[in-house]
Amino acid sequence: MAIKTRNKIGVSFNSSSMSDLVFLLLIFFMLTSTLVAPNAIKLLLPSSNSKTMAKQTVTVYINDLFQYYVEETPVPDEELASSISAKIEGQTDATIVLRSDKSVPVQYVVNVIDAVNEINNATQQNHKVILATSPKK
């Protein structure tokens, strides 16, 4: 007497779980790729050997066309101090990171430092300005 099996092993491949996995990976890589843009404004930073690390509060950019940006928002020269002041309102010792293109004249860098000093004098605070640099090769 031959015993027949009821459950036959199928040789077909079920790909529904594979497509779910591919979509999950796609969503993961799309989300993580948007978080990896630290420099939204393209600059050639001056090079330096120093490695000063600080907790940055506000980032001020000066591009090669001598335009100011506070957190990627274009700001005219006259409104630089008020725009920085609005970003650091309520903080006692904020750190302003200045990312300036290396072709920018020093006067534009000094304008940002003067704006922060103006805020410090008006509010009796101790905010600092740090010039961002790229490592020497």
Indicate whether 30 belongs to any domain.
no
Tell whether 8 is covered by a domain. no
State the amino acid at position 53 in one-letter form: M
Region of residue 131 (phi > 0: left; psi between -120 and 50: alpha; otherwise: beta): beta
Q: Which helix (H) or strand (E) holds 86?
A: helix 80-87
Residue 75 belongs to domain spanning: 47-135
pLDDT in tens, 12-67: 777 778 888 999 999 988 888 766 655 556 666 666 676 666 677 789 999 989 99
Domain at 82, CATH number: 3.30.420.270
* Structural domain includes residue 32: no
pLDDT of residue 70: 92
| Percent of all residues in the chain with a pLDDT value above 90, rounded to a whole number | 23
Buried b (16+ CB within 10 A) or exposed e, 3-13: eeeeeeeeeee
> What pLDDT is attached to residue 133?
78
Does some domain include residue 78? Answer: yes
Which two structure tokens, joined as six digits, stand for 33? 């790729």
Instruction: Say if 51 falls within a structural domain.
Output: yes
Q: Which secondary-structure segment (H or E) carries 48? A: strand 47-48
- Is the residue at 36 inside a domain? no
What is the pTM for the complete model shown? 0.63
Q: Is residue 42 part of a domain?
A: no
How many distinct structural domains can be found in the chain? 1
Residue 17 located in a structural domain: no
